[in-house]
């Protein structure tokens, strides 16, 4: 079996190019000296060839920079002098973002293939823009509106009344119901959006289900990872703010409101009616209790359990979560006590 590492294996990724150095520099929004150079693709520093572009944004890879054969390297101005003479330094204060833009130049997202596959099941009253793509065995319900250049992958289910803007990408086996999607929303395979939330009343005879009458609102440029679940609201809406990114296997409870450009890493769980303000970052497996407020720009470390509000800009960790400095002082104190007792033994 072939095991050689290939960036952008042509069996799976559509490539454009070759591109001139000037085109790559423009795409990266960077600066470089003029040179007649054609670049055919991208590669890591360690394996790049003279017709490829690479990048460096971490000083621990300086040794790889010193020996790279890349034709061009995207670097911070502080690192430009370390680029080998045979390579062109593409200089920017944001090398990682520039790398992402350059990589997208060579490997753009495939465009939608307009049309509805004969094996798709589409309600007669669904409004589908003629530039949208509906894949085989996809199901599109009544009163659905799908905007220009959207792509609905095979076996996705778009429930009655769902509205999505332009350039959305809905992965295979996704289900969407009771939801309004903005422009450029991406739902990766297996995501579930808009299903009934976990709401019930407790009585002596058992549980009484509370009707979940809200919606799921995903604003522009939201991306939802594979097998992530977003419950619709009970009375209020569940809202995911513009530009936010949710990783795989994240659970969002009913009535949660997430602000702009938040990041939730894998296996985060957010209980109902909790509010995350803009630019919040939650590490993997963080759990948030319900009805909390996480302030703007707060960051919570992986596996923390949050049972109270977190102030804006704060950094919390541990269980129960507390300010990071207090948590680390507690850990240091405990270790000192353990060492002291060990010496006495």
Domain membership flag for residue 171: yes
Same domain, residue pair 247 and 267: yes
Same domain, residue pair 151 and 238: yes
Distance of alpha carbon 306 from alpha carbon 28, whole angstroms: 39
Q: Are strands 257-258 and 121-122 parallel, antiparallel or unpaired?
A: unpaired
DSSP type of residue 337: H
CATH at 83: 3.40.1390.10
pLDDT at position 10 is 86
Domain membership flag for residue 218: yes
Q: Of 261, 316, 312, 311, nearest to 287 (Cα)?
A: 316
Q: Both ends of the chain: CA-CA distance in Å?
A: 57
Q: Tell me the residue range of the domain where 66 lies.
A: 19-106
Domain membership flag for residue 50: yes
Which residue is catalytic, options 19, 76, 178, 254? 254
Q: Is 96 a catalytic residue?
A: no
Overall domain count for the chain: 2
CATH at 167: 2.160.10.10
Same domain, residue pair 261 and 286: yes
Question: What string of DSSP letters covers 92-138?
Answer: -S-HHHHHHHHHHHHSPPPPP--EE-TT-EE-TT-EE-TT-EE-TT-
Same domain, residue pair 195 and 286: yes
pLDDT at position 3 is 55
Domain boundary among 106, 126, 141: 106
pLDDT at position 344 is 73
Same domain, residue pair 102 and 197: no
Q: Are 8 and 15 in contact (CB under 8 A)?
A: yes
Domain membership flag for residue 11: no
Domain membership flag for residue 129: yes
Q: Of 204, 174, 198, nearest to 187 (Cα)?
A: 174
User: Helix or strand or coil: residue 88?
Assistant: strand
Domain boundary among 62, 78, 106: 106
pLDDT in tens, 98-107: 999 999 999 9
Distance of alpha carbon 100 from alpha carbon 98, whole angstroms: 5
pLDDT at position 11 is 87
Domain membership flag for residue 78: yes
pLDDT at position 4 is 54
Q: What is the dihedral of CA 42, 44, 47, 49, to 10 degrees?
A: 30
Same domain, residue pair 102 and 123: no
Q: Of 208, 218, 212, 217, nearest to 245 (Cα)?
A: 218
Same domain, residue pair 93 and 133: no
Question: What string of DSSP letters covers 139-207?
Answer: EE-TT-EE-TT-EE-TT-EE-TT-EE-SS-EE-TT-EE-SEEE-TT-EE-TT-EEEEPPS-EEEETTEE
pLDDT at position 321 is 95
Same domain, residue pair 94 and 131: no
* Residue ranges in the chain modelled with pLDDT below 70: 1-5, 345
Same domain, residue pair 162 and 93: no
pLDDT at position 9 is 86
pLDDT in tens, 92-142: 999 999 999 999 999 999 999 999 999 999 999 999 999 999 999 999 999
């Amino acid at each position: 079996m072939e095991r050689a590492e290939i960036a952008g294996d042509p069996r799976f990724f559509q490539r454009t190019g070759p591109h001139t150095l000037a085109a790559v520099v423009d795409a990266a929004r960077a600066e470089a000296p003029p040179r007649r150079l054609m670049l055919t693709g991208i590669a890591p520093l360690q394996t790049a060839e003279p017709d490829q572009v690479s990048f460096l944004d971490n000083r621990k890879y300086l040794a790889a920079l010193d020996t790279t054969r890349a034709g061009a390297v995207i670097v911070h101005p502080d690192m430009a002098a370390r680029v080998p003479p045979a390579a062109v330094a593409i200089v920017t204060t944001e090398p990682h973002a520039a790398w992402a833009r350059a990589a997208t130049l060579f490997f753009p997202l495939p465009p939608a293939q307009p049309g509805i596959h004969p094996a798709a099941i589409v309600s007669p009253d669904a409004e589908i823009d003629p530039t949208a793509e509906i894949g085989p065995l996809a199901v599109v319900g009544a009163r659905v509106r799908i905007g220009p250049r959207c792509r609905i992958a095979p076996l996705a289910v778009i429930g009655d009344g769902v509205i999505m803007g332009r350039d959305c990408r809905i992965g295979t086996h996704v289900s969407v119901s009771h939801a309004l999607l903005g422009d450029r929303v991406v739902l990766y395979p297996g995501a579930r959006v808009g299903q009934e939330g976990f709401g019930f009343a407790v009585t002596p005879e058992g549980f009484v289900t509370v009707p979940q009458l809200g919606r799921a609102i995903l604003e522009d440029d939201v991306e939802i990872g594979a097998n992530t679940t977003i419950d619709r609201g009970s009375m209020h809406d569940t809202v995911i703010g513009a530009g936010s990114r949710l990783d795989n296997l994240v659970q969002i409870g009913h009535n949660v409101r997430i602000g702009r450009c938040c990041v939730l890493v894998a296996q985060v769980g957010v209980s109902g009616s909790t509010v995350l303000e803009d630019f919040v970052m939650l590490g993997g497996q963080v759990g948030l209790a319900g009805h909390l407020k996480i302030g703007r720009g707060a960051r919570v470390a992986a596996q923390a359990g949050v049972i109270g509000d977190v102030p804006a800009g704060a950094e919390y960790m541990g269980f129960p979560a507390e300010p990071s400095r207090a948590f680390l002082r507690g850990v240091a104190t405990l270790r000192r006590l353990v060492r002291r007792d060990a010496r006495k033994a």
